[in-house]
Amino acid sequence: MTKRNGYQPKPRNTNQRQRKKIILLATEGKNKTETHYFRSLSGSSYIIRFAPGNYTDPVNLVHALKTEFEDQGLETEMGDVAYCLIDSDLDPTKDIQIENAEIKAGDVATVIVSSPCFEIWYLCHYVKSTRQFSSNKEVIDTLKRYIPEYNKSMTGIWSILGDKSNDAIKNAKELERHCLELGLKPHTVAFMPSTEIYKIVSIILNE
């Protein structure tokens, strides 16, 4: 078919179309645990970025995440994704906070919950235990049986855990299944022990 005189097809943004996909994360407060871990996971298809801010409540975390997603010009159609990482912290008030955060997240962001804390994910690299923890400190003390030098600001954690990632994914899924079989409601303090971090790690490792 003859093109109209003087017509030029609109050029496609090939650089934009070929760029790596972005995983944008929001984490609670000044906690560097998740940051140190995920910085090591940028792969051939994904780049890990973090939303700024030191928010500790889930709703403001999601708000900051969605704002940063928009400010960076990210697009779900391009495969970019946004995750808000929340610990239940054995705090009953978190139940309604997480519920409100999920409403605010809409179709842009996904709320990822660890109960009681992120270190459950680290434990899953070594063991699948349905033990009921009474505090975050108890989780960390248990983790130190496997990583004696562990602390929340520890760097290089990926070099310790990396080759156990598939075991961690499997164990986290089984913990989740166990909680569901007990009739517990996801994204609540009672849904414990559990962690949804495996959902993020799975898409990065299987890129």
**DSSP conformational letter for 41:** G
> pLDDT tens digits for 9-33?
334 444 454 678 999 999 997 767 8
Using CA atoms, how far apart are residues 134 and 84, in angstroms rounded to an integer?
A: 24
pLDDT-derived band at 45 (thresholds 50, 70, 90) equals confident
Using CA atoms, how far apart are residues 144 and 13, in angstroms rounded to an integer?
A: 49
Unique residue bearing structure tokens 């070099």: 159
Q: What is the mean pLDDT of residues 92-110?
A: 96
Task: Give the tokens for residue 135.
Answer: 């505090």
Predicted pLDDT of residue 14: 42
pTM over 0.75: yes
CB-CB contact of 189 with 95 (8 Å): yes
Residue 61's closest CA among 90, 27, 36, 93? 27
Predicted pLDDT of residue 207: 61
